Amino acid sequence: MSFQITDHVLIKYIPEPDETEIIIPENVTNIGYKAFFECKALTSVHIPDSVISIGDSAFSGCNALTSVHIPDSVISIGDSAFSGCNAFTSVHIPDSVTSIGWGAFDGCRALTSVHVPDSVTNIGASAFSGTPWLKSMQERNPLVILNGILIDGSACTGDIKIPDSVTSIGNYAFHDCSALTSVHIPDSVISIGDSAFFECQALTSVHIPDSVTSIGDCAFFGCHALTSVHISNSVTNIKYGAFWECRALTSVHIPDSVTNIENLAFSECNALTSVHIPDSVTRIEESAFRGCSALISIHIPDSVTNIGDKAFYGCVVLTSVYISNSITSIGKCAFFECQALTSVHIPDSVTSIGDCAFFGCHALTSVHISDSVTSIGKCAFFECQALTSVHIPDSVISIGSGAFEGCTGLITVELPDHLKKYEHVFENDDCHPRFKYY
């Protein structure tokens, strides 16, 4: 046998012909990524007490592996570490282990017996997916719970009540439960994992108790029937895509505990007509409300310092927006094709207007650009066809190409003398405004 070991990490095992059983050397502390990947002849592995972690996909695809000794020294088992080990019948995880990675034993088709100690506090999504052990657990109770972690509810239908013994709802726990209609989350739960209710398309309502401090990425993505949601007062971040494509959601109250609305948080919530953003929020990130085609008005509080790229992209019925005095930049395409927006006041705090920021705002009749603005991005006001006049302040030093192209209603442009070279930005075949210089 041959091992490639660097700094006590077993990088690669190079098997000899017909070698089926191996003993890993005592100087190894970590078994690296894909170290034994698809060693199809391997039947038995002895891991020494020196090893503290088993890396991602370390033994993935070892189809003939029937037994492996995991010593008490091991703390973590990586993502897909033993996935596809189809000859595995049982696994004993020692008390030293605290974390079992995503898909760690996924697809172990003969695995019928699993021992998970109380020491394990983190179990990744699909850790035991496709195993006879998981199927037998689901037959006993469709809510599979280990150490207070609800790891699988994929067999659930109708209305369910999560028991008080649960402290966290694991990643992908109810993924694609198309017949799940309602869920009661008890006060014992402190976290809802990534994609926990991903595409539960019949789920109509959910109450998130104040005990919950974290809602994971894409937690309720694609819950098309979800009409209302109560977000607890303990949540500080509404994470990436948390309510993305919740197309029946009509209103949402964001509590004062929230400081950040992350990328795509409420994107494509087509029925959302109103949203309250509290004074605690400091950032509205990229595409946060993108495609909220029923959103009529939005008040951005003074606490917000940044409006991300595409934040309100395609909010086609948005008629008014208040931009607070704390905003320093308006991101690229922030209000792209907000076709009903009639006026906008850009406060003195703003220094830059991003590319395509107000592209296609056809109803925009007036815009106030503050004296603090130094740059207006490319196509910033492209095809704002109702705009009749614009005053460019002396603070502006650059105007991007196409910034006012297609503004066919533009009659008057006030420009400081140092910006005469930008006349072409306002002129095209359908627009020949009168310039006033100062």
- How would DSSP label each residue in 151-200? EE-TT--EEEE--TT--EEPTTTTTT-TTEEEEE--TT--EE-TTTTTT-
State the architecture of 296-438 in CATH terms. Alpha-Beta Horseshoe (3.80)
Give the pair of three-digit tokens for residue 24.
């890993």
CB 103 within 8 A of CB 79: yes
Please give the Cα distance from 425 to 234 (Å, whole number).
Answer: 49
Q: Domain extents for the chain? A: 1-140, 144-295, 296-438
Given the candidates 2.40.160.20, 3.40.50.300, 3.80.10.10, 3.30.420.40, the CATH classification of the domain at 1-140 is 3.80.10.10
What's the pLDDT score for residue 431?
Answer: 67
What's the pLDDT score for residue 1?
Answer: 60
pTM score, whole prediction:
0.89
Domain spanning 144-295: CATH 3.40.50.150: no
Under-70 pLDDT residues of the chain: 1, 428-431
Sheet holding 2-6, edge to edge: 2-6, 9-14, 30-31, 53-54, 76-77, 99-100, 122-123
One-letter amino acid of 301: P
140's enclosing H/E stretch is helix 132-140
Taking alpha carbons only, the member of 91, 53, 48 closest to residue 71 is 48
Radius of gyration from C-alpha coordinates of the chain: 28
Chain-centre distance of CA 55, in angstroms? 25
One-letter amino acid of 426: F
Q: For the segment 333-379, what is each residue's pLDDT rounded down to a tens digit? A: 999 999 999 988 888 899 999 999 999 999 999 898 989 999 999 99
Same fold, 1-140 and 144-295: yes
The CA distances from residue 412 to 370, 397, 423, in Å, are 18, 20, 12
What's the pLDDT score for residue 228?
Answer: 84
Taking alpha carbons only, the member of 336, 328, 338 closest to residue 282 is 328
What's the pLDDT score for residue 397?
Answer: 93
Please give the Cα distance from 307 to 302 (Å, whole number).
Answer: 12
Please give the Cα distance from 38 to 14 (Å, whole number).
Answer: 11
What's the pLDDT score for residue 429?
Answer: 63
How would DSSP label each residue in 213-235?
A: -EE-TTTTTT-TT--EEE--TT-
Q: For the segment 389-427, what is each residue's pLDDT rounded down to a tens digit? A: 999 999 999 999 999 988 989 888 889 888 888 778 877
Q: CB-based contacts of 140: which residues, under 8 Å, 6+ apart?
A: none
Give the pair of three-digit tokens for residue 43.
């039947």
What's the pLDDT score for residue 433?
Answer: 77
